[in-house]
Structure 1
Amino acid sequence: MTKPVDLGFSISLIDLYDLQTAQRTGAYVFQEEEVTIIETSASPSIPHLIKGLEALSINLHDVKNIIVTHIHLDHAGGAGVLLQHCPNARVFVHPKGMRHLADPSRLIQGAKAVYGEKFDALFDPIVPIPEDRLVIKEDGETLQIGEDRTLTFLHTPGHANHHFSIYDEKSNGIFTGDTAGVFYPQLLSYDMELYLPSTSPNQFDPEAMLASIERFKALRPGRIYFGHFGMSQQVQTVWEQLHYWLPIFVQVGNEVLSEQANQSFTEKTEAVFNRLFEIVRTFLRKQQVPDDADVYQLLQLDLQVCAMGLVDYVEKQKR
């Protein structure tokens, strides 16, 4: 495993090796009086999280708060398994997500529809969380985890309706889950940064996403902590790239569905993916990123899911 990364301000990042891939998903750990974890990834990632906590000399009995930004399985799927190892912890979740963590049957059904026979390897097991260990946080509510550390919960739809982000005043940073997109640190070795919107099904809403981004900007953060993957202090670059890429993604979805109105959902999704992938690859080629760079494996996966969300969104708009 990779050693946890010290991000300063008593925050560490543990690589969770989602999809058995480094720098894919991570857990953020606050080493405060009340040890607090943000994001768990899927259940197969929990052994990596536990090893990371051991490397930080954190006893699992000392973990008090587990926060998931939203209930998609690559962020919250492992929460039930982790809770079995942390007897004194509670799980904090958006009000619209609570019932799905208590009874994950619909989450499982939806993920199986998307991932098919790959589901077990990616997500199994998904363990229900007892309701008395679930805590919802409304918009603007806070959680005190240390003498001088308060976390503020912000409802930030756009990627999903059951999404909140967490503002940490002490580090002047926001844990944005997927609402502020995906950061690809693999490209830093090519002296460039890439931030793409995450438009996965089935609650993607570009207007809500832009409104959430404006809410982030109003806080004037100095750091963004991404669900995928890591921290960026290039906040202005993040905003600029999201405002650049989001209209392109939506435009591609609209164009493809106009051209292929009579095709199946799968065929439309494949066409959107192909066009998005070519646009992003052309952009990266201009930045001297070679076609065999490792980042393309992640981009292919992410853009396929984004394409599904875009087709779903455009078809809903047409209805």
Structure 2
Amino acid sequence: MDLGLGVSIIDAMDLGKERRTGSYVLHAEQLTIIETCASPSIRYILKGLKVLGIDPAEIKNIIVTHIHLDHAGGVGLLLEICPHAKVIVHPRGKRHLADPTKLIKGAKAVYGARFDELFEPILPVPEDRLVVKEDGDTLQIGENRVLTFFDTPGHANHHFSIHDSMSNGVFTGDTIGVYYPQLMEKGVELCFPSTSPNQFDPDAMLQSLEKIKALAADRIYFGHYGMTTNPTHMYEQIEYWLALFMEESRRLYAETKEEPMIAKVETLFESLYAKVVNDLAEKGISLNQEMEEIIQLDLRVGSMGIIDYLEKNKGK
């Protein structure tokens, strides 16, 4: 899909669902892809490139906002088909793309028996094809197109966001949340903070949000999923929901701190999901089965991350 200003999005069909995770194509002298999703999505990305009339051999840069497998798990596989591409990654992520052993272990802890179905194969990236970008570094991909990289932790410590000079847009990965374009058809722009384990930090997330706000972007390109031309509303959503999530989490954690981890997570998930459903009902929105499944998945994984954070910080 053409998003204008030299940006296209390919639906990577993450988890077999439409409009779940996107791979962005920047049409420039140095053809650039941002996000690869997991390896089962690579066939959809290749189909999308074919529709756009792009030979994978033309691709010069593959950028991953962070190294979670739903954003970068397929990079090694895609790289095999893109012989002239380099992979651009946050400095804290480089070693894990070169040796994904710890990434695999962490994802198996979250996804369990579904791991192989969702993520295999995960291939290492040769070190000579990895390029690190530090906070404030730039990459010129066209005569009038410069990408600037900003360290934006909160969702993960190995996360950067990328400002695109041509579109005045920011590719935010998961730093400022998950966007649900399906609800736009019902007149609601909804965005939740992405609080998945195990490096979620609400204070760092808010600091990264302020850094992104300061860029005065016209567009936000979300990893999950799509573009908004209403950044201010998205910023307000993240601030609102993050505060609500953390207030409710701390309250429930104090009540359930002696219970097993799995019970704490389930209690929090049920409470947060009820609040979301009630909020949407007040706007006249009811969720269909597809949206129920997607939001429940995000809130369940997000509840794991919040409880993990509270465990590390003694409920504070």
Structure 1 length as normaliser, TM-score? 0.97
| 2:86 pairs with 1:90 | yes
Question: Would you say the 8 A contact 1:102–1:128 is kept in 2?
Answer: yes
Tell me the residue number matched to 1:135: 131
Deviation of residue 247 (structure 1)?
A: 0.8
Structure 2 unaligned runs (5+)? none
| 2:215 pairs with 1:200 | no
Q: What letter corresponds to residue 289 of structure 1 in structure 2?
A: I
* CA distance in 2: counterparts of 1:188 and 1:117, whole angstroms: 33
Aligned-pair RMSD on alpha carbons?
0.9
Tell me the residue number matched to 2:58: 62
* CA distance in 1: counterparts of 2:163 and 2:287, whole angstroms: 37
* CA distance in 2: counterparts of 1:109 and 1:52, whole angstroms: 30
Q: How far does the alpha carbon of each residue in 1:220-243 deviate from its partner, in whole angstroms, 9 at most, with x for none?
A: 100000000000011111011111
Q: What letter corresponds to residue 225 of structure 1 in structure 2?
A: Y
| 2:307 pairs with 1:297 | no
Corresponding pairs, count: 315
Q: What letter corresponds to residue 104 of structure 2 in structure 1?
A: I
Deviation of residue 288 (structure 1)?
A: 1.4
Deviation of residue 31 (structure 1)?
A: 1.3
| 2:10 pairs with 1:14 | yes
Tell me the residue number matched to 2:153: 157
Q: What letter corresponds to residue 25 of structure 1 in structure 2?
A: T
Tell me the residue number matched to 1:167: 163
SS of the residue corresponding to residue 126 of structure 1 reads coil
Question: Would you say the 8 A contact 1:186–1:294 is kept in 2?
Answer: no
Provide the identity percentage.
Answer: 56
SS of the residue corresponding to residue 318 of structure 1 reads coil
* CA distance in 1: counterparts of 2:46 and 2:123, whole angstroms: 17
Deviation of residue 272 (structure 1)?
A: 0.7
SS of the residue corresponding to residue 282 of structure 1 reads helix
| 2:95 pairs with 1:99 | yes
Deviation of residue 315 (structure 1)?
A: 1.0
Provide runs of 4+ in structure 1 moved above 3 Å: none
Question: Would you say the 8 A contact 1:9–1:171 is kept in 2?
Answer: yes
Tell me the residue number matched to 2:115: 119
| 2:261 pairs with 1:265 | yes
SS of the residue corresponding to residue 303 of structure 1 reads helix
1:24 aligned residue (17, 20, 27): 20
Deviation of residue 291 (structure 1)?
A: 4.0
Q: How far does the alpha carbon of each residue in 1:54-76 deviate from its partner, in whole angstroms, 9 at most, with x for none?
A: 11111111001000000000000
Q: How far does the alpha carbon of each residue in 1:270-305 deviate from its partner, in whole angstroms, 9 at most, with x for none?
A: 111000000001011111112435311110000001
Tell me the residue number matched to 1:242: 238
Deviation of residue 162 (structure 1)?
A: 0.2
Question: Would you say the 8 A contact 1:190–1:288 is kept in 2?
Answer: no
Q: What letter corresponds to residue 160 of structure 2 in structure 1?
A: F
Tell me the residue number matched to 1:189: 185
Q: What letter corresponds to residue 238 of structure 2 in structure 1?
A: L
* CA distance in 2: counterparts of 1:13 and 1:304, whole angstroms: 27
Structure 1 unaligned runs (5+)? none
Deviation of residue 268 (structure 1)?
A: 0.5
* CA distance in 2: counterparts of 1:252 and 1:101, whole angstroms: 36
* CA distance in 2: counterparts of 1:178 and 1:206, whole angstroms: 13
Tell me the residue number matched to 1:286: 282
SS of the residue corresponding to residue 158 of structure 1 reads coil
* CA distance in 2: counterparts of 1:30 and 1:290, whole angstroms: 36
Tell me the residue number matched to 2:206: 210
* CA distance in 2: counterparts of 1:216 and 1:114, whole angstroms: 29
Question: Would you say the 8 A contact 1:156–1:164 is kept in 2?
Answer: yes
Tell me the residue number matched to 1:44: 40
Q: What letter corresponds to residue 290 of structure 2 in structure 1?
A: D
Tell me the residue number matched to 1:145: 141
* CA distance in 2: counterparts of 1:190 and 1:269, whole angstroms: 30
Q: What letter corresponds to residue 68 of structure 2 in structure 1?
A: H
* CA distance in 2: counterparts of 1:82 and 1:131, whole angstroms: 15
